[in-house]
Chains A and B, each alone.
Chain A
Amino acid sequence: MLLNQPLKQKLLELLSPEQVLTDELDLKFYSYDSSFHAKLNRFFPEAVVFPRSTQEVSAVMRLAYEHNISVTPRGAGTGETCGCVAVQGGIIMDLSPWDTIEEVDVANMQVFVRPGVVHANLNTHLEKYGLFFPPDPGSSRMCTVGGMVSNNSSGLRAVKYGTTEQYILGLEVVLPNGDVIITGGQNSRAIKNVSGMNLTKLFVGAEGTLGVITKIRLRVWPKPKGRGLAMAVFDNLEEAPQAVLDVYRGGILPSGIEILDDSAIKAINMYKPEINLPNAEAILLFEVDGNPAGVEWEGQQIKEIVSRRAIKVEWATEPERIKSLWQGRSVVATAAARIRPDGSRIFAGEDISVPLNKVTECLRRIKKMAKEYGVAVVNYGHIGDGNVHTAPVINLDNQAEVEQVKKLTDAIHRLAIELGGATTGEHGVGAVRACYATAEHGEALKVMHRIKHTLDPTGIMNPGKLLPPEGDDYSA
């Protein structure tokens, strides 16, 4: 619904003029995130607000609830699914300026932060205490912890450290009607707590559809002192996932295992020839961290195990060499666009997750489908947990290519479901993947709708995201 003038005035009664944007030009800057969907469409809010306290968030939510206005929470806008874009208008609540690290409780190994804290800044701060927050998204330098909680983000080191949800001890949440709750025990600083229903997990990964997260109690870990990296080169793609399983069976759990297929290797070498990756069907990168002696032992074990299948394995512990070996992986997202001069990399169908024993089949079939649809793609990802990133590269001005890539990404999502996987491993559903919910969740979707309806009876909380409209059946 449209905001009317008196309501804008009401927002200004709750917040200072600096905390409210209603100018048409200002609002345009809030029409996008990183998604292909936002490249193709324009979604404008009617207002953007910048609350800096739980009371202010609560006041805005009460106002929105009273007048039935949609509210979309937003962090840094680095998502790839339109999750923080106001697809049904209303108010965008930009929480990224609210970036206070309230307390580092070293004795209890936890930290209290506001939602706008940037991931990398949090870890820089924690380093002073010899601690770290392990999830490691590629967007570490810009994404917010609030966004990570809402999307249950992970990243390169999820193999060993898991996803964000494993580190959330409690949350302060403003519900759609403006009420404030604290999950995980209202005065608790305990690490273990099974008292009551686990409401914390309900809000983690809910993409802002159930309430606004205003404070986060995070568990933190001692920062490992040692780190090493093995790079393995394969002339047969099938051998790469097998090598990963061999390492697991050898009793070793690396902190991260990344794959680059031949399309990614070619793209990287075209983008930065000096990286000079060997031409191969696949490259695997195994990162190990922990105490230096243990890291060295595990590294040598990995080298020995993987050498049975790889044509070449290099193990490094010197920071400079590690950086150089990582370089290929770190530039691949950018390098993808270089595989054709008029191409742009888009974020669509970019985050499926499949069982470990289906990774090879998945990569082969994505390549085959890409060929059928005539779309160039680059594949890479977190093979250690079956999370495949596909980067389609198209000419955005060519409408035929745009249509073809839509068909391809739909086919990729359906392939993930067919292989017993998920349409998204870490990037979320947002406004672009809800159509697969019936196929993915079946009867459980009805329960999700009931939970949503209970907490958000008027449907004002980030509408059009995560769940398809009730009663819609996309399974066909």
Chain B
Amino acid sequence: MLSQLKQLEDVKDQFQKCVRCGLCRSVCPIFKEDRRETTAPRGKVFLTQMLSSGEIEPGSKVSDKLSMCLLCESCSSECPSGIEVHKLVILARSMVSEKCPSLTNQLIFKKIWTKPQLLNRCVGLLRAGQSFGLLNIGYKMGFLPKSSGLLGQLPGRPARYALPETFPAITKQRARVGYFLGCATNYMFPEVAYSTVKVLSYLGCEVVIPKNTNCCGLPQMANGELATGQQLAAHNLEIFSQAEVEALICDCASCSATLSHSRDGDLPVYDAVSYIMQQLQPDFENRRKINKAITYHDPCHLAKAQKITTQPRQLLQMLPGIEYREMPGAGDCCGGAGTFVIKNFDMSMRILDRKIANIKDTGAELVATCCPTCTMQLSYGLSRHGLNVEVAHPLELLAESLGL
């Protein structure tokens, strides 16, 4: 439970349980590229153990080592001893951040990203910068990170402005659910949010979209501001608890993973695709044909953190006209991992290149995935490799097929 993480001292038993068998070396995307023990997950366990015991002091070197983790949970989901390496990394980053605060981190993750209005203004400035070509100039002059290109063209208006607080069921009502609008979906992919809400509504859900929600908390947790992230997650869960909804639905894998692992109440948190396929079971008869060859990329926070792999594939395979093609290494991380790509662009691109090669192998015209960060990363990679392949959320395709 992310909500219960406090101190490295609390997880001391995990250090002892690690037998350093090295199985994690076989699944870590970063280790696959770097091949040094210094990036192996068991090395991270050892690093956090040394931090916890005071054998090493927090500092920039330790911080650099800890930054070399995607939090993709590949190692945690395979560890024979059940060690949750990603949680140890989150705790260690938090400890380092506490002892050696980074002003940039605090400004971004504590001051701006916790205040929706401030974040809105910053994104607005970015959008304006893009319109006037300033970002391009800034990038060329070296003021902006290499990862700036991942932003693509920011949409004109965030989804938040277009969505009402309550969206009624447009068929016979079967449920009242909450919809959590994540930051990346809101600012980068408003169409995904509209598709999710429209599909839920069409399948008989009254959808509650509270205005006062905040970021899910994952960016803060991942960047050393654990307490802030936990507060945000708790705040969001509280809002939906008060909204008297039966379930909380997220169309972003990272948001659903964070909120479902942070909850300590009764409100169930669902990934939108799995909720729709399991609870609402749409009828695919006589729907519009999509007529595309499609492959699917598993977001780590869906496949590894929540063990959801079959429902997105079921949905895609049931869409009329679709030719579904499974890609090799569909469950391999794409290297985006939220802010990882900003801090470790070159490593991120090496991981991404493997993924793009696998997509190319399928010859698919479209890659479906359930995570906006993956969508940004994959779109960037496909364009980098000169491939004319679209990226979409499965619910965008479902909405299209349902004629919504």
Q: Mark B13-35, 1 if CB is under 8 A from A, else 0.
A: 10011011111011000000001
Flag if A29 contacts B37 (CB, 8 Å): yes
Q: Which of A336-356 contact B (CB under 8 A)?
A: 337, 342, 344-347
List residues of chain B with CB within 8 A of the CB of A345. 19, 81
Q: How far is the CB of B32 from chain A (nearest CB, A)?
A: 11
| Interface flag for B50 (CB, 8 Å) | yes
Q: How far is the CB of B246 from chain A (nearest CB, A)?
A: 30
List residues of chain B with CB within 8 A of the CB of A346. 19
| Interface flag for A133 (CB, 8 Å) | no
List residues of chain A with CB within 8 A of the CB of B13. 342
The CA-CA distance from A120 to B25 in the complex, in Å, is 13
**CB closest residue in chain A, given B37:** A29
List residues of chain B with CB within 8 A of the CB of A174. none
**Most A-side CB within 10 Å, residue of B21, B22, B35, B82:** B21
Flag if A97 contacts B36 (CB, 8 Å): yes
Q: Which of B77-104 contact A (CB under 8 A)?
A: 80-82
Q: Which of A2-10, A19-27, A439-447 contacts B (4 or more CB under 8 A)?
A: A19-27
| Interface flag for A275 (CB, 8 Å) | no
List residues of chain B with CB within 8 A of the CB of A342. 13
**CB closest residue in chain B, given A28:** B50
Q: Which of A116-174 contact B (CB under 8 A)?
A: 118, 120, 139, 141-143
Flag if A331 contacts B80 (CB, 8 Å): yes
Flag if B19 contacts A26 (CB, 8 Å): no
List residues of chain B with CB within 8 A of the CB of A331. 80
The CA-CA distance from A377 to B35 in the complex, in Å, is 35
| Interface flag for B56 (CB, 8 Å) | yes
| Interface flag for A110 (CB, 8 Å) | no
Flag if B80 contacts A333 (CB, 8 Å): yes
Total number of B residues with any Cβ neighbor in A under 8 Å: 26
List residues of chain B with CB within 8 A of the CB of A76. 22, 25
| Interface flag for A65 (CB, 8 Å) | no
| Interface flag for A34 (CB, 8 Å) | yes
Q: Mark A319-334, 1 if CB is under 8 A from B, else 0.
A: 0000000000001011
| Interface flag for B354 (CB, 8 Å) | no
Q: Mark A75-102, 1 if CB is under 8 A from B, else 0.
A: 0111000000000000000101100000
Flag if B80 contacts A141 (CB, 8 Å): no
List residues of chain B with CB within 8 A of the CB of A26. 38
| Interface flag for B46 (CB, 8 Å) | yes
**CB closest residue in chain A, given B12:** A397
| Interface flag for A109 (CB, 8 Å) | no
Flag if B80 contacts A334 (CB, 8 Å): yes
The CA-CA distance from A38 to B36 in the complex, in Å, is 19
Flag if B56 contacts A78 (CB, 8 Å): no
Q: Mark B34-76, 1 if CB is under 8 A from A, else 0.
A: 0111101001001100100000100001100100000000000
List residues of chain A with CB within 8 A of the CB of B43. 29
Flag if B22 contacts A396 (CB, 8 Å): no
List residues of chain A with CB within 8 A of the CB of B47. 29
Partner of A397, one of B16, B17, B22, B81: B16
Flag if B80 contacts A34 (CB, 8 Å): no
The CA-CA distance from A321 to B36 in the complex, in Å, is 38
**CB closest residue in chain B, given A395:** B16
Partner of B26, one of A38, A141, A333: A141
List residues of chain A with CB within 8 A of the CB of B19. 34, 344-347
Flag if A337 contacts B56 (CB, 8 Å): no
Known pairs A29-B37, A331-B80; A337 contacts B17 (CB<8 A): yes
Q: Which of A374-417 contact B (CB under 8 A)?
A: 396-397
The CA-CA distance from A382 to B59 in the complex, in Å, is 47
Flag if B61 contacts A23 (CB, 8 Å): yes
Q: How far is the CB of A138 from chain B (nearest CB, A)?
A: 9
Q: How far is the CB of A278 from chain B (nearest CB, A)?
A: 24
Flag if A28 contacts B23 (CB, 8 Å): no
Q: How far is the CB of A141 from chain B (nearest CB, A)?
A: 4
* Smallest CB-CB A-B distances: 7 pairs: A97-B35, A334-B80, A29-B37, A141-B26, A142-B22, A78-B22, A344-B16
Question: Would you mind naming 29 contact pairs between A and B with Cβ atoms under 8 Å apart?
Answer: A21-B36, A25-B65, A26-B38, A28-B50, A29-B37, A29-B38, A29-B47, A33-B20, A76-B25, A77-B20, A77-B37, A78-B22, A94-B36, A94-B37, A97-B35, A97-B36, A118-B26, A139-B21, A141-B23, A141-B26, A142-B25, A143-B22, A333-B80, A334-B80, A334-B81, A334-B82, A337-B81, A342-B13, A397-B16
Residues on B facing A (Cβ under 8 Å): 13, 16-17, 19-23, 25-26, 35-38, 40, 43, 46-47, 50, 56, 61-62, 65, 80-82
In the complex, besides A32-B20, A50-B35, A344-B17, 20 extra interface pairs with C-beta distance below 8 angstroms are A21-B36, A21-B38, A23-B61, A25-B62, A25-B65, A26-B38, A28-B50, A29-B38, A29-B43, A34-B19, A76-B25, A77-B22, A96-B35, A139-B22, A141-B23, A142-B22, A142-B25, A331-B80, A334-B80, A396-B16
